[in-house]
């Protein structure tokens, strides 16, 4: 067995036992569901509609805050398809649905109080969202199985008043609406994800998130009717607020992810080996921070530097081919600098260390462009 292969078998144990949250790369799908609240009270404006009635108002006249409604807690669901760029940024297209039952209606001048209410407000639409996934390692906090994220979305949504109704207690007059209107929609999202690789499915992530979802005010045709003759006494548009708060649990699945590497096979241990002159320190994908095992290997190299009477220590950083050549060049430099700093902390003079970064140009295992290869994410320490 070659020296490099033997060192690989010894140092691959530097990989963490638990899967850490990684940036999404490539195509993914997602779905979620949970509780939805409409911002209560939801205020109404009365306005005329030349084709369908004007509530007896003069042309182009609107009565602001003429009435309001309160809704019970309901439910909502989303489904999405998107693309992760591997740097924390994701973009996706989402379909959504929300449903809440009405609880009370008030206002409208001479009509209060209004009883015998019923019906639902349903909102469904299509949104384009952009997300950013935070990486704790970028803030010096190390790896984590949790990955918070934020997102913004814009699109179009339809508000459906499905058999919204109520009856004035004093007069018996019935208010009724069964109409749908579409408007521009927007949302803000805060969430956190954690990988479920322990289920044996690479790329599966559990998500928990809060969403604020709103639309421009929809115009919904509404009538006031005589309870006996069912004759329409007044009709026109009600312009309603539509602000929603949702808490959802979901699943996100990144397609076409490479399977996890097989368990390492331990190399046979030779009796009383001579101090090695070459050491390999491996890194996680897109990482330049040192694991506990990596620090042990660097400490061994520092300790043996005097035993082999080295006059120079060469530190060479490398990266796999999963990113651009320019990015991998910088990443390999950060890895080499991290190893050199640890050697200095172990008592090696900085003047004795030469640092070189090769990027993806000298792979230990040749691969095609874009392939994540653990053996190529390394720093080589050579005692001269």
pLDDT tens-digit series, residues 85-122: 989 999 999 999 999 999 998 876 555 567 889 999 99
User: Distance from CA of residue 323 to its chain's centroid?
Assistant: 21
pLDDT number for residue 108: 67
pLDDT number for residue 207: 96
**Given a cut of 50, is residue 38 above it in pLDDT?**
yes
Domains, the chain, with CATH or none: 3-18+272-383 (3.30.1330.60), 25-254 (2.40.160.20)
pLDDT number for residue 18: 45
pLDDT tens-digit series, residues 43-56: 888 776 666 777 76
Give this prediction's pTM: 0.63
**Contact between residue 242 and residue 61 where contact means Cβ atoms under 8 Å apart:** no
Both tokens of 338, joined, read 């991290």
Both tokens of 4, joined, read 């490099």
Overall size of the chain counted in residues:
384
pLDDT tens-digit series, residues 157-192: 999 999 999 887 777 788 899 999 999 999 999 999
Helix-helix angle 292-307:3-11, to 10 degrees: 140
């Amino acid at each position: 067995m070659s020296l490099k292969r033997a060192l690989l078998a010894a140092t691959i144990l530097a990989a963490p036992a638990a899967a850490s949250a990684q940036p999404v790369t490539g195509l993914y799908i997602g779905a979620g569901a949970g509780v939805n609240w409409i911002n209560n009270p939801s205020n109404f404006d009365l306005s005329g509609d030349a084709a369908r009635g004007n509530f007896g108002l003069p042309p182009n006249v609107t009565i602001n805050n003429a009435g309001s409604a309160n809704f019970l807690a309901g439910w909502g669901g989303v489904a999405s398809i998107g693309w992760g760029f591997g740097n924390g940024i994701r973009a996706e297209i989402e379909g959504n649905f929300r449903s809440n039952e009405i609880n009370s209606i008030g206002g409208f001048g001479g009509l209060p109080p209004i009883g015998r209410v019923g019906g639902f407000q349903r909102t469904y639409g299509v949104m384009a969202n952009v997300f950013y996934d935070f990486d704790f390692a970028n803030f010096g906090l190390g790896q984590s199985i949790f990955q918070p994220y934020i997102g913004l979305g814009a699109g179009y949504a339809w508000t459906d008043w499905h058999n919204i109704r109520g009856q004035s207690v004093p007069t018996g007059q019935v208010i009724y609406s069964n109409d749908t209107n579409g408007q521009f929609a927007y949302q803000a999202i805060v969430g956190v994800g954690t990988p479920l690789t322990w289920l044996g499915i690479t790329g599966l992530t559990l998500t928990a998130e809060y969403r604020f979802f709103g639309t421009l005010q929809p115009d919904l045709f509404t009538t006031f009717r005589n309870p006996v003759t069912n004759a329409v006494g007044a009709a026109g548009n009600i312009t309603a607020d539509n602000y929603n708060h949702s808490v959802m649990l979901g699943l996100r699945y990144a397609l076409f992810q490479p399977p996890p590497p097989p368990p390492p096979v331990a190399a046979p241990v030779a009796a009383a080996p001579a101090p090695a002159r070459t050491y390999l320190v491996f890194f996680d994908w897109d990482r330049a921070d040192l694991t506990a095992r990596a620090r042990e290997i660097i400490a061994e190299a520092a300790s043996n530097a005097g035993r082999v009477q080295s006059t120079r220590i060469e530190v060479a950083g490398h990266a796999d081919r999963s990113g651009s050549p320019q990015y991998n060049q910088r990443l390999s430099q950060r890895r080499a600098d991290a190893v050199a700093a640890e050697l200095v902390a172990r008592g090696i003079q900085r003047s004795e260390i030469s640092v070189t970064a090769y990027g993806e140009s000298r792979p230990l295992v040749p691969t095609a462009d874009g392939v994540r290869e653990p053996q190529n994410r390394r720093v080589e320490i050579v005692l001269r």
